[in-house]
Structure 1
């Protein structure tokens, strides 16, 4: 039993006869009769009373009619839904990010929602190390990470270039300096994010190379907590610049450069290789590319070649 058979069946019912149904369907009457006969053979039931010229239904025909109408309505709804997806009138975009990389997404999503207000967006918080796994599971369409994943499985696009900011409250003694050498930081009390990250490891290595103690007195569970705690006048911190831009603009935190720490990190927009992206995903990529073109550095749009 297929949808064409059901469409022919309903045409006979609605037109109250095989001849009028054939005219409506632009087919011959024998072809319509053959379709109905084949449908009856497949079901093992007679659908029309043979003594009636107006296509009177048997009890089996009445039962099939309700199911046929529902199935054809579902087909129409499916066609409309696909058309809406293609025209970006519906859909949902799911992206994986962590506390830090999510901040890159905020201005991008702001513009994306202006362009595609009907598309729902879910940003799924995840450890950066787990994001490639989520992509392989297809639970998300894109991920934002700070490391280049396996080229064989993932396509990566560089979308943002970020640095490391040495920050403190405006009242801190170091806040008045134009820069501070790393060797003068051995007595400082550092506040750190207690989640292992490539940035934290690189900072530890730089301090070790310059034979300077890195005294981490307080570790907190989020970058938001770190910058708020430091803003209250408690120690200093080295955090991604992206995470403290609002506080630096408002003067709530002060950034003093450390010449020996010139760390640049690239944020990558990652997708599973060989998988066709959704219409919503394609629209999102167009927004990412346009923002990079309009705003320039630190926004990027550089697709890594194989």
Structure 2
């Protein structure tokens, strides 16, 4: 089994097409096919179903893919570490974050990092916490900012708390406040909600809080991502429960009665891989941003940098 063969295999698995995979890795398609067949002989199993141009992974291929991705990612990390020994004027960091974080604090964090290290390439991947952990574990990401409730047991991963953020109900500024002062969760019983798609951390947090009060919430509309939910609330379709970090000045913010709703955001990384200097630099910059007062955190959001997990 050769490194080049694993790279070709991963390219075919991701494109589901031999010709497009060959174009991606810049090799002639017959040579790529020959190397894939050689890899199949080495592992003793067929890796792809090839039916009328429809390429899909076999069970053996599904088993090999995360292993191949880890090997490729660790090899790339080794090359990057060597290239970055002398300076931090170059490099590449792949950061994963949830959609609400990308709408909230992440842009300011990355802007501060970019000012300090303009030569480092940043790649931001937006997805749910569970998917981000999988991609981090497989080596497709260097760091991931995830929600605490979604931290799954994985011997390859480690995480540390960054901040706790309050969840609040938002409504258009042009509409009357839902209640005076703080709002109890039970006040959501008769209020239609703009609800995120299934699998969204905020959807589960809202639904679970309502069910703890003995009712299922009423949805005015559901299935949106963060940007869509904010626009739907602005259009007057209903309330939404979101982190305080995404609210800004566009919406009326209503806090929940104590103990309220909140969530912890953590920074996750691989414990079994030596991080390149550029990755370490971003990790340190994020901690500095939250720990030295640089971040202008909204009410209800509190840094946990320096606090024991």
Mapped contact 1:169–1:175 kept (Cα < 8 A) = no
Q: Which residue of 158, 161, 164 maps to 2:161?
A: 158
| Unaligned runs of at least 5 residues, structure 2 | 1-78, 296-300
Residue 253 (structure 2) aligns with: 255
How far did residue 211 of structure 1 move? 2.6
What secondary structure, in the 3-state scheme, does the structure 2 residue paired with 1:173 have? coil
Q: 2-side partners of 1:304 and 1:298: how far apart?
A: 14
What secondary structure, in the 3-state scheme, does the structure 1 residue paired with 2:174 have? coil
Residue 225 (structure 1) aligns with: 228
Mapped contact 1:206–1:261 kept (Cα < 8 A) = no
Whether 1:190 and 2:193 are equivalent positions in the alignment is yes
Count of residue correspondences: 222
Per-residue CA distance 1:150-190 (angstroms, 9 max, x = gap):
26321102112112111111233335622233333322111
Q: 2-side partners of 1:86 and 1:161: how far apart?
A: 37
Specify whether residues 228 and 217 from structure 1 end up closer, same or farther in structure 2 by C-alpha distance, changes over 3 A only. same
- Answer 1 or 2: which has greater helix percent: 1
Which structure has the larger Rg? 1
Cα RMSD between the aligned structures?
2.6
What secondary structure, in the 3-state scheme, does the structure 2 residue paired with 1:283 have? helix
| Unaligned runs of at least 5 residues, structure 1 | 1-78
How far did residue 300 of structure 1 move? 3.3
More off after superposition, 291-300 vs 208-217: 291-300
Per-residue CA distance 1:118-165 (angstroms, 9 max, x = gap):
000001223321222212221211111113332632110211211211
Give the TM-score, by structure 2 length.
0.64
Specify whether residues 299 and 287 from structure 1 end up closer, same or farther in structure 2 by C-alpha distance, changes over 3 A only. same
Give the TM-score, by structure 1 length.
0.65
Residue 88 (structure 2) aligns with: 88
Q: 2-side partners of 1:254 and 1:160: how far apart?
A: 23
Specify whether residues 303 and 283 from structure 1 end up closer, same or farther in structure 2 by C-alpha distance, changes over 3 A only. farther
Q: 2-side partners of 1:97 and 1:293: how far apart?
A: 19
